[in-house]
Chain A
Amino acid sequence: MKAWLQQHLAALVRAARRLTDSPLSALLSILAIGIAMALPAAGYLCLDNLKALGANSGSAQQMSLFLDADANEKTRADIEKRLEALLPGQWRFISRDAALRQMEANEGMAEIVASLPKNPLPDAFILEPDDADPEHLEALRATLGAWPGVAHVQLDSAWIKRFDAFLRLGRLAAHLLAVIFAAGLIAVTFNTIRLQVLGQAEEIEVARLIGATDAFIRRPFCYLGVLQGALGGLTAALLLLAGTLALAPPVSRLAALYGSAFVLRGPSFLHALALIASGASLGWLGAQLSVRLIRDQ
């Protein structure tokens, strides 16, 4: 076990040495991988921010529950009880009188309201469920609509569905971009390792002649792919962080003009770790494909 660990450690050191032996070429490869990973990652980050922006806007998941015009106090209290059980703290009541006052306050509406023989507005509840998933909201609307005393439940589902469809499309595009750039990353690693294998042909031959197994010969190249990919992932995380830091102040200023406290979110520590791990995995895959050349030599 100790010998096995020592061999892996030695291979890792050899791989690191190979990277530092040709710093410019290593730097360019790492930068290429970093940019390739940063593009789809930026897409995901953008979508996450848009989702947060949608959730922040408040109206995205707002529903209005209108009571029957002849609903009495008991019906209202009963619905309040049910709402508190179903959506605790996520609703507020607007009485028909308060709604009429709000309507009157709107410009040009006072005369119209004054001409009405009686208040036509029903009592209503405004709901803001935490879960803004369109399917969940649709199901909630159906449930609420079936309650006794409820005349109508209004959900601006078209807007939500459009927004959700946009996010889904964006996510799909980001997935496709990720697959394309992952293939690119594998190709970059494959080529780097292939050149290394060709450059080390003499050493490989000598190692074989003195009893090295294929695993021993391949190991440093695999570690090279992993190191290069991991450093590429780190570069991608740093690029995203730099981009976020540059964009966050103007985005916040723009959001403030629309009365929103939205703050652009950059990659989290977990995002950075995921990028590094993805880079390392893809680098390992590219190296694995490339070191098959050693067997064929």
Chain B
Amino acid sequence: MIVGSQIYKRYPGGFEALKNVSFEIAGGELALVGGHSGAGKTTLLKLLSAIERPTSGSLVVNGQNLVALRPAALPFLRRNLGLVFQDQKLLFDRSALENVLLPLEIIGLAPREAQRRARAALDKVGLLAREKTNPIALSGGEQQRLAIARAVVNRPTILLADEPTANLDEESARQVLDLFIAFHQVRVTVIIATHAPQGLFPGMAARALTLRHGMLIA
């Protein structure tokens, strides 16, 4: 469950990226955060993943108010969030498998179990055959799927994705979106920021949060 209440985000210099934003997203829901460029989608995702903090208001994620969260508690909150970025943020000095292993190393999982889970995650996104490949040798769609595997390997309760299909061709984008549907179907809360939410998930009841100039209009 995510509850945002009267959230404001003001950056140094006075620019207000979010103004009086309030919303609720239930556990297991699929939510699409839409809006034009600069509407505040990425800012909202940054607040949800505790990369940034609201200037005022309250934002409760998994029962924790992110406004009052101690810095030491941040890593433990993030272990329950799966983050997928537009630029994937993959590490190019290690293999695909090692990229997926990283979150498991962080939680101190036994190496054998970590390998098993990482391979299962790669299998889920269709990249098991390329586990030893350096991500730089993967296509854009494969890189995004690898980023999703890394985001879900810890079995997070919430999956946040910022423009995950922005740089992908139609087929790759479809494969990526199908993965999000699969995780939504197993009760993972999926929140996707996209500038074009219409028709992204045809025939599915996706929750729409539309931002315009930092304000939630729907």
Chain A residues packing against B (C-beta within 8 Å): 2-4, 6-7, 10, 202-203, 205-213, 216
Contacts and interface: CB of A to CB of B under 8 A. Distances in A.
Contact of B102 (A3, A206, A213): A206
B89 A6 contact: no
Contacts of B69: none
Interface residues of A, dominant DSSP: helix
B78 A203 contact: no
Contacts, number: 57
Given A202-B91, A203-B91, A210 B51 contact: no
Contacts of B76: 211
A161 B61 CA distance: 76
Contact of A6 (B83, B103, B110, B154): B110
Given A4-B108, A6-B111, A7-B108, A211 B91 contact: no
5 contacts: A7-B105, A203-B91, A207-B106, A209-B78, A211-B76
A211 B79 contact: yes
Contact of B107 (A2, A203, A211): A211
B83 A210 contact: yes
Contacts of A202: 89, 91
Contacts of B89: 202, 205-206, 209
The range of chain B's interface size is: 20 to 34
B108 to A, nearest CB: 3
A4 B110 CA distance: 10
Contacts of A206: 89-91, 102
A211 B109 contact: no
A42 B191 CA distance: 65
Interface in B188-202: none
Contacts of A7: 105, 108
Interface string B81-100: 10100000111010000000
A6 B102 CA distance: 13
A210 B108 contact: no
A216 B106 contact: yes
Top-6 shortest CB links A-B? A3-B108, A211-B79, A211-B78, A213-B75, A211-B75, A212-B106
Nearest to A8: B108
Given A205-B89, A206-B91, A211 B103 contact: yes
**Among B75, B110, B150, B151: residue with most chain A CB under 10 A:** B75
Contacts of A6: 108, 110-111
